[in-house]
Chain A
Amino acid sequence: AQSVTQPDIHITVSEGASLELRCNYSYGATPYLFWYVQSPGQGLQLLLKYFSGDTLVQGIKGFEAEFKRSQSSFNLRKPSVHWSDAAEYFCAVGAGTYKYIFGTGTRLKVLA
């Protein structure tokens, strides 16, 4: 069955520190992978996506993610976190035709 696992429910980092959010997927075919961010009371904003090609993809707001097929992972990274990055982050896989399967999310807290 298709699934997405985000092992970390909460992560706290200091402003200026580096960040890595983990995402593991289970999907039989070549996956379409996405990271979204959700601020409190808001919808989801697309940070980046991977379909094929270069396994390191760049997104908005200074985020990047690396696709590792051997590990079934698509981890999100940022070299230096800003206080405004505090939000909830969702990893998603495009499953079959048209629908996305989302993970349960990782809530990021940034310490000043």
Chain B
Amino acid sequence: DAGVTQSPTHLIKTRGQQVTLRCSPKSGHDTVSWYQQALGQGPQFIFQYYEEEERQRGNFPDRFSGHQFPNYSSELNVNALLLGDSALYLCASSPGRDPFYGYTFGSGTRLTVV
């Protein structure tokens, strides 16, 4: 049983560019959450998608947007990249009916903005 799959694993972008990160949830999970983990920090909640809608959002600017597809996979888009956006971006899936069931995390996408 495949867990959470994220792509790409590593990415280098230039300041001002846009980036799209992708996530396929664990089989049977319909909820996808995105977290940003800066170096030496704990993960910070960006937003969560359920039934193709953003269900909750953390304290991130509108440059961060997302989408969930009918097959429950999800994308995270970041526009106008800043150097401070460099981080590990983690996708986590869970069953929507029990939000505190406990996430299953992917291995993340390491984004470097230069």
| Residues of chain A whose beta carbon lies under 8 Å from any beta carbon of chain B | 4, 32, 34, 36, 41-46, 49, 51, 90, 92, 94, 97-105
The A-contacting residues of B in range 1-51, CB under 8 angstroms, are 4, 31, 33, 35, 40-45, 48
**A46:B102 contact, CB within 8 angstroms:** yes
Give the residues in chain B near A102, CB-CB below 8 Å.
Answer: 35, 42-44
Chain A interface SS verdict (over half) = strand
Kindly state whether residue B55 has any CB partner on chain A within 8 Å. Answer: yes
Give the residues in chain A near B72, CB-CB below 8 Å.
Answer: none
Kindly state whether residue B76 has any CB partner on chain A within 8 Å. Answer: no
**A46:B42 contact, CB within 8 angstroms:** no
The size class of the interface chain B forms with chain A is: 20 to 34
The list of the 4 closest CB pairs from A to B, nearest first, reads A102-B42, A43-B105, A99-B45, A44-B105
Q: CB < 8 Å: which of A4, A36, A99, A104 contacts B33?
A: A99
Kindly state whether residue B99 has any CB partner on chain A within 8 Å. Answer: yes
Give the residues in chain A near B108, CB-CB below 8 Å.
Answer: 42-43
Give the residues in chain B near A94, CB-CB below 8 Å.
Answer: 99-100
Write the nearest CB–CB distance from A57 to chain B, whole angstroms.
12
**B107:A43 contact, CB within 8 angstroms:** yes
> Complex formed: what's the CA distance from A97 to B108 in Å?
23
Give the residues in chain B near A105, CB-CB below 8 Å.
Answer: 40-42
Kindly state whether residue B78 has any CB partner on chain A within 8 Å. Answer: no
Additional pairs, 5, CB under 8 Å, beyond known A51-B100, A98-B48, A103-B42:
A43-B105, A44-B43, A46-B104, A90-B43, A98-B33
